[in-house]
Chain A
Amino acid sequence: MKKLTFLALISFILVSAGTLFAQDNMKARQAAVSADSKVMVVTPEKFQAYATENVGKEVEIQGMVVHVCRHGGKKLFIIGEDPEIRVKITASEIVSVFEPDLEGSTIYVKGIIEPIEEEAVPEEEKKAEDADHTNYYHVPQYSISCLAFRTIEE
């Protein structure tokens, strides 16, 4: 009985700690989104040009989600007025995954500009129906590591 109580206590502590951390994290994320900071707001069309001089800096951007990675939800792409220009948003330690439900929604993103990195097309994304992956998503480009995001329009 004592041992069972001991195990139950440890489990309770772990779950409580997890819940507390999660709540803190959520609050921090919400604060980050709503904070009235002096972060540069760019449009998707102007992002690549802006990024060349501002790697590592914070940026805010808004656009419609046109693709969410199906294999792990680690990245998504947004567009503004011009559908040919897509901006890559990557998951981070704070926002670790994106759900495909976001596709078609307009979102606001706050994040850090990441440098251009060569990216190989994974085997599982070389199928004909994934042509966009080769033509858009794995093309070397500046991207944004997402610190926070919120849906503006479903």
Chain B
Amino acid sequence: MKFQWRKWFRVVHRDFGYLFFGLTLVYSVSGIALNHLDDWNPNYIIVRKEIALENPGRIYPGITKAEVRAILEEIGENKGYKNHYFPQSDQLKIFLKGGSALINIETGNGLLERVDRRPFFHEMNYLHYNPQVSWTWISDVFAGALIILAITGLFLVRGAKGITGRGAWMTALGIIIPLVFLLIFFY
């Protein structure tokens, strides 16, 4: 009995398509997000607010945690104090749960920063960055599956719209585009 390779290509292409649908979305969505880091931060929503503190003269190098908490209460951040330090002689940095405040101790002016994870994109990017060795294995399997999907996809259709007709032109175009880019920008 003759081996029906085209039938098996269809089966593999179909089932791999189903199986790797989720991973394709993970990598494509996070890929687009990471391509545009200049325009936005896909991982976190960062909100910065200017603050002004009255009587900044009470801030001194040995300021206690209780005194820092009192300052935070004044600016409406009475919960979530973690730690503080002086990055420069005229600056007090207070770390909060989910943010921080940087205060100029001479002027009392400062910046309150709140950092929240951006829902959905944070998780997608976490996976994109290969968070664990085990995930690297999964992403390798996915990469291999994409190669198989690409190859089997070439031979799904017979005839004029298949790889011997329209498919050949489309495939050639898909190869030429990166080649042209390489010729212009790389070589």
Contact = CB atoms under 8 A, between A and B. Distances in A.
B132 interface: yes
B141 A14 contact: yes
Interface in A1-51: 3, 6-7, 10-11, 14, 17-18, 20-22, 24-25
A79 B44 contact: no
Contacts, number: 88
A12 to B, nearest CB: 12
Contact of B15 (A3, A66, A100, A124): A3
Residues of B in contact with A, size category? 35 or more
Given A66-B93, A83-B87, A103-B95, A18 B100 contact: no
A56 interface: no
Interface string B100-139: 1000000000010001000000000110011111111110
Contacts of B93: 66
Interface of B: 15, 18-19, 37-38, 41, 43-44, 46, 48, 82-88, 93, 95-98, 100, 111, 115, 125-126, 129-138, 141
Interface of A: 3, 6-7, 10-11, 14, 17-18, 20-22, 24-25, 64, 66, 70-74, 79, 83, 93-94, 96-97, 100-101, 103-106, 122-124, 129, 132, 154
